[in-house]
Structure 1
C-alpha cells in the first residue's frame, strides 16, 4: 500500500476544466475539485456564472471562463461553447462535470468533444438514463438491485386508481433530473401524507405527470449511505469509498451537510457489481438508504458525475475520485490505498441550520463515529480562504437585503400611523 507521503505522479501538462450548466454559484464541489487537482500542480480552469463566485477566486484557479447558462439551451449551443473554451486553453484538458446536464452533454456529444478534451468512455445514452429516476429504477429492476417501490404515472386517472390502494405516506419526485431547470412538478422530495393530498397535488401536474411516486422509507427505520467511486474504461473500480450521511439540508431530503467515512464492504461490493453490469465508466455519486425493516440497501439516486461532497473521501495514498480520474485519463497509475475511515465532511453554511432541525426532530444517525479522525470543511481551507469569504458574502447578502427591506417597510408603516 502506498503511503500518504508518497508523491502523486500527476501529469501537470494536462489541465482540468470544471464544467457546470445552470446557475448555482455557491457550489463547494467545484471549489473542492479545483483545490484537489491544483494542489498537485495541475493547471485548473472553470466555467463560472460571474467573476465573483467562490470558484472564480480560488488561488488554484488559472482562469475562470464566465459563461452563465440556464440549462435550457440547445445542446449544439453548449457544445460550441465548450469547444470555444477548449480552443482558448489550447491543449487536451480533462473535463470534470459537476451536474447531470454537463455529464449527459459530454456523453451524448463525445465525438465532437473528444479532440480538445479528455473524459471517460461511456455509452452515449447511459448517463441520461441513470440521471432519470425512471431510467435508474428500470436498470435496478433489470439487474436485481434493491430500490424503493416506484410508480411512474402516465395520467391523472392512473394516479386516482393508485391513490385508492397506495400505502401512505409516500414521496413524489421529478421523474427527470433536468426538470428542476424548467418547470418542475414538485420542488425536491415531497412527502405526501394521504390520498386527498396526493390528488390535490396531482391536479397541478398536467396531463402527463412528470413525477415518480415512491415508497416512503421512514427515517426512524433507515440509514442514509453514500458511495463515491471512479471506474476505468473496463468498469473496474480504481477508487471506491463508502460513508454515512449524518445531516442534509433541507432535512432528510437535500444536499449533504455533514457526513462521515464509514467502511461498508457489502455496500461497496453491491455498487461495484452494478457498475460492472451496466458498463459505466467515470466518477459516480450514489445515494443508498438502508431499510432496517427488511435489511436491504436500496438505491435512491445515481449521479453520473462528481458529487459535491467528494472531498469527504480520500485514500491513505491521497487519492480522491477527481484525482483518480485525472491520473487514469492521462495514462498514470492510480495508487492503491484504503479509505481514511472516521473522516468527517462539514458544509459550513448549511450544517448549522441542519443541526438545529435534526435536534428538534430528535433524530440521530446510526454508525456515525463519536469522534472524527479528521474534518474536511467544504469552504474554508488554510491555503485558500478567498472562496470561504466569498461564499459568506454571497450567502449572507440576500438575508441582509431581506432584513433591510423589512425594516424599511416597517418604518414606512410606522410613519403612516403617526
Structure 2
C-alpha cells in the first residue's frame, strides 16, 4: 500500500453529520503541528467543513485543501481566559452554526472545560468535571490521581523549598528526572526546559538554586530506557466513561531521543494496557479524547503512567479501527448523536513524522541503542505531513523549516547528541 495512501479511502461509509463543522483550537505559537493537519484531513475527507485557528496565513494547517476557513489569531498562552473565551465566541459567530471544538493543546482543553457554560451555545465539546483536565495536565495532579486509584506511576516528590531539595538530594537514588509541576509553563518562567535527567546530588543542588523560593518542579524516579518500553493509548470516551474508540501502540522513536514527541510509532495490540487505561478513565470520570503515555518497566513488570493529555494527541492518525473510526471521528459522531461503529484496531500500521524522524533515526543509530520492543515490519505507513490528496501542508512545512527552521533543527540535533547525560531529554515545538 503506498505511503499515506490508505487514509484517502478510510471511513468513506461513516454516516457523519456534515452540517456540523469542526474547529481546530490552539493556544500559543507552534505552527508546525501535524496533529492539527491530521484532524483537518480526517474530518474533511468525510465532507465535514473544517476551520482552524492559525498563527498566520502560511501555516501547514492553513494550506490544507480540506480547510474551509482559517482564523488568524496569534496567542501566547499568557492571555486572560476571558479574552480567549471572547475570541472563541467571535469565531463561533462567524462560523454561524454549532461547531465541534477540537483542542490541540492542554491550554485549549482546560479553557474549554473551565468555561463550558459560556461556550456551550456556540460549540459542541465533551463535558468532564470543569477542574479535571487541568488536574490531569498537571504532573502533580496526575500523580495524585494515580495514587488515589491504584495506578502505577514513577515515584515522585514535590519540593516546596530549597531545603526540601537538599533533604531529597541526600536520600535520592540518582539519576532522577526534573519536570515542571504544572502544564502551563508559558504563563511563567519555567524551572526546567522539558524533562531533564539529573545525574547526581550536586547537579540537582546547582540547578535548584535558579528555581526560586517555591520550586515549581516535580522530581521523579528515572526509568532507564534500556529497561523500558514506551506505549501510547489513544481513546475517545462517552459521558459515562465507556470507550467509544480505544487504541494501543508502541513509540519506537522520539525526538529528542528516548523522550519527547513521537517520531515513529506502531500499532500494537495490548489488551492489558487498554483495560488499565479504560478502568482509570472511568474511575476519574473523564469524558472526551485522551492521549496517554505509559512506560513498561521491565524491572518490575509494571506499566507506569507518565502523562495524560486531555485532548487529541498529535499522532492520533496512527490509530483507526476496521470501520474507519479514529478518535476525532468518534468524537464528531458521538457529539452529533450518531452511532460510533465498533471495530478492531487496524494492525500492522505505523506513523512517521517526517521532519523529526530523520534526525531521530540518525541519533538512535549513533547511540547504538534500539527500543526493546520493535514491532514487525509495518503493513502500511501513515505520514504525518505528506498526503497525495493534500500535498500543500507538506510543502509548507518544508518551506517553514528552511532558514530559521534549519538553525532550529541544528540545535535539536546538538541536543540529541547530549541527550544521554545532563541535557534536556524532552522538548519540542508545541504539544505532542
Task: Report the TM-score range of the alignment, normalised by the length of the smaller protein.
Answer: over 0.9
1:380–1:181: structure 2 CA closer, same or farther, 3 Å change rule? farther
Q: Kindly state the Cα deviation for residue 4 of structure 1 after the two structures are TM-superposed.
A: 6.2
Other-structure match for 1:369: 375
Distance in 1, matches of 2:172 and 2:11, equals 56
Other-structure match for 1:246: 252
Which structure's CA Rg is the greater one? 1
Cα contact 1:29–1:307 (8 A) shared by 2 = yes
In structure 2, which of residues 146, 149, 152 is the aligned counterpart of residue 143 of structure 1? 149
Other-structure match for 1:12: 18
Other-structure match for 1:349: 355
Q: Does 1:198 align with 2:186?
A: no
In structure 1, which of residues 55, 65, 70 is the aligned counterpart of residue 71 of structure 2? 65
Q: Kindly state the Cα deviation for residue 5 of structure 1 after the two structures are TM-superposed.
A: 7.2
Q: Kindly state the Cα deviation for residue 396 of structure 1 after the two structures are TM-superposed.
A: 1.8
> Which runs of structure 2 are paired with 1:166-185 in the superposition (5 Å)?
166-185=172-191
The normalised TM-score by structure 1 is 0.94
Which has the bigger relative contact order, CA under 8 A and spacing at least 6? Answer: 2
Distance in 1, matches of 2:267 and 2:11, equals 21
Other-structure match for 2:5: none
Count of aligned positions: 401
> Which runs of structure 2 are paired with 1:373-392 in the superposition (5 Å)?
373-392=379-398
SS at match of 2:20: coil
SS at match of 2:402: helix
Other-structure match for 2:45: 39
Q: Does 1:299 align with 2:305?
A: yes
Other-structure match for 2:423: none
Q: Does 1:397 align with 2:403?
A: yes
Q: Does 1:217 align with 2:234?
A: no
Other-structure match for 1:124: 130
Q: Kindly state the Cα deviation for residue 369 of structure 1 after the two structures are TM-superposed.
A: 2.1
Distance in 1, matches of 2:146 and 2:209, equals 30
Q: Does 1:80 align with 2:86?
A: yes
Q: Kindly state the Cα deviation for residue 400 of structure 1 after the two structures are TM-superposed.
A: 5.5
What's the CA shift string for 1:284-317, capped at 9, x where partnerless? 0000000000000000000000000000101111
SS at match of 2:346: coil
Other-structure match for 1:414: none
Distance in 2, matches of 1:8 and 1:114, equals 26
Other-structure match for 1:264: 270
Q: CA RMSD in A?
A: 1.4
What's the CA shift string for 1:131-152, capped at 9, x where partnerless? 0000000000000000000000
Cα contact 1:316–1:337 (8 A) shared by 2 = yes
Q: Kindly state the Cα deviation for residue 252 of structure 1 after the two structures are TM-superposed.
A: 1.4
Q: Kindly state the Cα deviation for residue 373 of structure 1 after the two structures are TM-superposed.
A: 1.0
Distance in 2, matches of 1:111 and 1:85, equals 17
Q: Kindly state the Cα deviation for residue 359 of structure 1 after the two structures are TM-superposed.
A: 1.1
The normalised TM-score by structure 2 is 0.91
Distance in 2, matches of 1:240 and 1:181, equals 33
Distance in 1, matches of 2:370 and 2:324, equals 30
Other-structure match for 2:62: 56
Q: Kindly state the Cα deviation for residue 180 of structure 1 after the two structures are TM-superposed.
A: 4.1
Q: Which runs of 5+ in 2 are unaligned?
A: 1-8, 410-432
